Amino acid sequence: MIKFLNPSYIFYLTGKILNFIKIFIIPIIIIGIIFSLFVAPKDYIQGDAARIMYVHVPSAWISLFCFALISFLSIVNFIFKIKSLSLIYKSLAPIGLAFNFIAIITGSLWGQPTWGTWWAWDARLTSMLILMFFYIIFIFSYKFIKNTEKSSKICTTVSILGLINIVVIKYSVNWWSTLHQTSSINISGKTTVHFSMLIPLGIMLFTFLMYSALIFLMKYRIETIRVKKKGLKKL
């Protein structure tokens, strides 16, 4: 158990995993693109426009999941003062922000041909934009506040506010009338996406998760090196 918690062992292990992902990421991306562009059928109303779903939906999920994760880590870090957790959330936050941005951009590109507008101030779209601001504030508060105690406090406050926003995003389409349709994929309940479209969606989700893991591990290792360079023996 001690061996697994040793920072240099973790560094060695993440290096191994990173190399493994590096080998597989390109084939996975190619398979994902082939499935979503060629194997998946057209939608019965939207035609080929529905293919944007294979980028939009996984990106949105990852951005929500990532914020939940960094919030959790930052809250635990605040309460129990486990400093190594801050390395993890610092490495995760930019990934979430990137996917949040991708979800908004692809949503906008999808909205124009289907709804007839690039943007609508409905509850879902607005709350998603607010999430982006939360990400930015979160990143700023550890980037620009040098005092770790202070930055941890601010990160945790942003986390709590952001977590409420996550719940609002999830249920926005059920609580209020929105231009955005209600969710198609439900863990408990009916999924209204045809099976032949779920497969490419699953592959794309896996692809994006692998990509996130790749970027995360790279960033995490850099953060570790940065801490070591400062001459700190302990995190």
Partner 1 sequence: MLNIKTKNRLLILVAIAVLVITITVLIFKTLEDNVLYFYSPSEIEKSNEIVLNDNMRIGGMVKKGSIETNQNEIRFIITDFKSEIIVSYRGTVPALFAEGKGVVAEGKLQDKKFFLAKRILAKHDENYMPPEIKESLKDNVK
Say if residues 95 and 194 touch (Cβ distance below 8 Å): no
- What are the angstrom distances between the C-alpha of 11 and each of 81, 210, 228? 21, 19, 12
Residue 91 vs 156, nearer CB to partner 1: 156
Contact between 108 and partner 1 (CB under 8 A)? no
Residue 91 vs 172, nearer CB to partner 1: 172
DSSP conformational letter for 82: -
- Tokens at 106, concatenated: 């692809």
Q: Binder to partner 1 among 177, 189, 229, 230 (CB under 8 A)?
A: 177
Single out the segment in contact with partner 1 by CB under 8 A; choices: 64-72, 73-81, 91-99, 101-109. 73-81
Contact between 187 and partner 1 (CB under 8 A)? no
Q: For residue 10, how many other CB atoms are within 10 A of its CB?
A: 16
Closest CA to 86 of 220, 214, 231, 203: 220
Distance CA 134, CA 126 (A): 12
Contact between 189 and partner 1 (CB under 8 A)? no
Q: Binder to partner 1 among 17, 34, 129, 160 (CB under 8 A)?
A: 160
- Residue keyed to tokens 């870090």: 77
Residue 9 vs 115, nearer CB to partner 1: 115
Q: Binder to partner 1 among 14, 84, 108, 157 (CB under 8 A)?
A: 157
Say if residues 85 and 73 touch (Cβ distance below 8 Å): yes
Contact between 182 and partner 1 (CB under 8 A)? yes
Q: Give min distance, CB of 176 to partner 1, in A.
A: 5
Total number of residues that touch partner 1 (CB under 8 A): 42
The gap from C-alpha 205 to its chain's centroid, in whole angstroms, comes to 11
* DSSP H or E run through 29: helix 7-34
Q: Binder to partner 1 among 120, 132, 154, 213 (CB under 8 A)?
A: 120
Contact between 50 and partner 1 (CB under 8 A)? yes
Contact between 129 and partner 1 (CB under 8 A)? no
- Bridge partners of 43? 47
Interface with partner 1 (CB under 8 A): 41-46, 50, 53, 75, 78-81, 113-117, 120-123, 156-157, 160-161, 164, 168, 175-179, 181-184, 192-194, 196-197
